[in-house]
Structure 1
Amino acid sequence: MSATEDDHLEVTRRELLDLVARDPDDARVNYRAACVHDRLGLEAEAIPFYERCLAGTGLPDEDRRGALLGLGSTYRVLGQYARAVETFRRGVAEYPDDGGLRTFLAMALYNTGDHHEAMGILLDLLATTSQDPSVQQYRRAIDLYAKDLDATAGPLAG
């Protein structure tokens, strides 16, 4: 980030803090405050804003997804892996088709040592979203292994 961009974000941060002070329950303002704190590398300070915006009402659906991903990512960056997994699971429960949330859940699961579930999520995501012909050729096998990595059935092409 350039010094000018950093200065602009700091001004924005102060303006958002003023807005939050005036209306601490405004979900949209809390979400914007969380995002600007994250962008400035102030992850720990972003958490209360994420939590308030998710607890409140009036947050548009796309922002809610972003807040769940942002909060989970912030927990992960801060080494709070169990809280990250919990947040991403909540996000995936609310938005099961969101590949970003599922990917970040897999990364957090990796951090907690649950490599098996993480790999299963990523294999499922690969099988269901890849347009690569060689992935699609083996989709049945990938689907099988996404559910049970220890399966011993041979590759199931086509």
Structure 2
Amino acid sequence: MNENDQGRDELLAAAVGLRERGEAEAARQQLVALAERFPGDGQVAYQAAWAHDVLGLEAEAVPFYELALRGAGLSEDDRRGALLGLGSTYRILGRYDEAVRLLRVALIDFPHDGALRTFLAMALYNTGGHREAMRILLTLLADSSTDPDIARYRGAVAYYAEDLDATL
């Protein structure tokens, strides 16, 4: 690690610390400056995107998420987080088709991620894919709920997830 990288790590940690302490605007400013200094750094871009999202600046977050996913240095967990963040942000911005495409791709690598599946269901709802959205959510509910009342009907919920129009 060279001296420049060490400075990057310290500055990144300080900016993330600001965000975690609720000083989102100060964190955003530091992360934008850091992203300019390290333009190909996926981790810096991801943290900058996150800081924008925390402040409700979704449109400004998009280029940072996109850069994070193209850049180097993201852990698998942060890559998953960046995919979720970008997909969710596309949906919030009304870019529903892009959200669906991105979240489908994310689920290829992270097929059991409940958050990705949930946001895909929401984006599908926004594009008129109500049947698939319900299937995804019912399957997720059947697979992950710890509610004893739902657990009692887990088989029925899973069955209807595949064919909500099924009757006797």
Q: Calculate the TM-score normalised by the size of structure 1.
A: 0.87
Gaps of 5+ in 2: 1-18
Aligned with 1:52 (options 67, 81, 106): 67
| Residue 155 of structure 2 is aligned to residue 140 of structure 1 | yes
> Amino acid of the residue matched to residue 75 of structure 2?
P
* Cα distance in 2 between the residues matched to 1:133 and 1:40: 37
* Residue number in structure 2 paired with 1:156: none
Identity %: 59
* Alignment of structure 1 residues 62-77 onto 2, 5 Å: 62-77=77-92
> Amino acid of the residue matched to residue 161 of structure 2?
A
Q: How many residue pairs were aligned?
A: 148
* Residue number in structure 1 paired with 2:108: 93
* Alignment of structure 1 residues 9-158 onto 2, 5 Å: 9-153=24-168
Query: What is the root-mean-square deviation of aligned Cα atoms in Å?
Result: 1.6
Q: How big is each residue's C-alpha offset from its partner over 1:108-145, in whole Å with a ceiling of 9 and x where there is no partner?
A: 11111111000000110011111223322222222121
> Amino acid of the residue matched to residue 22 of structure 1?
R
Gaps of 5+ in 1: 154-158
Give the CA deviation at 1:79.
Answer: 0.8
